[in-house]
């Protein structure tokens, strides 16, 4: 059973470009979470999604960031008009029903030049 897949593993963007980060949950998992890890810091929750629904986006910045988890295909975290402060590692996790353990992917390391 493959684990949580994220791609790309590394992404370099220039200021003002868009970044798209993809996450494929473990087989049988219908819940996806995105976390951001800034340099020298712990992980901070961003958003929690089920298929076609955003359940909790309390950790998402109000502007430029959006997330989706369509009926088919991976979950996408989209950052528009990136700035240097967006440079971080973005981790996706998945779980089966709510209140179960979350399993993390390897992360996407975004560098904004």
Partner 1 sequence: GNSVTQMEGPVTLSEEAFLTINCTYTATGYPSLFWYVQYPGEGLQLLLKATKADDKGSNKGFEATYRKETTSFHLEKGSVQVSDSAVYFCALRGMEYGNKLVFGAGTILRVKS
The binder of partner 1 chosen from 11, 95, 110, 112 (CB under 8 A) = 95
Spell out the SS3 assignment of the chain: CCCCEEECCEEEECCCCCEEEEEECCCCCCEEEEEEECCCCCEEEEEEEECCEEEECCCCCCCCEEEECCCCCCEEEEECCCCHHHCEEEEEEEECCCCCCCEECCCEEEEEC
The binder of partner 1 chosen from 12, 55, 83, 113 (CB under 8 A) = 55
The binder of partner 1 chosen from 19, 31, 67, 75 (CB under 8 A) = 31
CA distance 107 to 36: 9
- Asked if 44 is part of the footprint of partner 1 (rule: CB under 8 A), the reply reads yes
Complex with partner 1: residue 17 or 54, whichever CB lies closer: 54
- Asked if 102 is part of the footprint of partner 1 (rule: CB under 8 A), the reply reads yes
Give the shortest CB-42-to-partner 1 separation in angstroms: 4
Counting residues that bind partner 1 (by CB under 8 A) gives 28
Longest dimension (CA), the chain: 39
The residue ranges that bind partner 1 (CB under 8 A) are 4, 6, 31, 33, 35, 41-45, 48, 55-56, 58-59, 91, 93, 95, 98-107
């Amino acid at each position: 059973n493959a684990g949580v897949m994220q791609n790309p593993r590394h992404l370099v963007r220039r200021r003002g470009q868009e970044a798209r980060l993809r996450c494929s949950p473990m087989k049988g998992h219908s819940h996806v979470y995105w976390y951001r890890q800034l340099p020298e810091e712990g992980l901070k929750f961003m958003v929690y999604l089920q298929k076609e629904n955003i359940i909790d986006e309390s950790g998402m910045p109000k502007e430029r960031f959006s997330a989706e988890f369509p009926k088919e295909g991976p979950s996408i975290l989209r950052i528009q008009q990136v700035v240097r402060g967006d440079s971080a590692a973005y981790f996706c996790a998945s779980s089966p029903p709510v209140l179960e353990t979350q399993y993390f992917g390897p992360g996407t390391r975004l560098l904004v030049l």
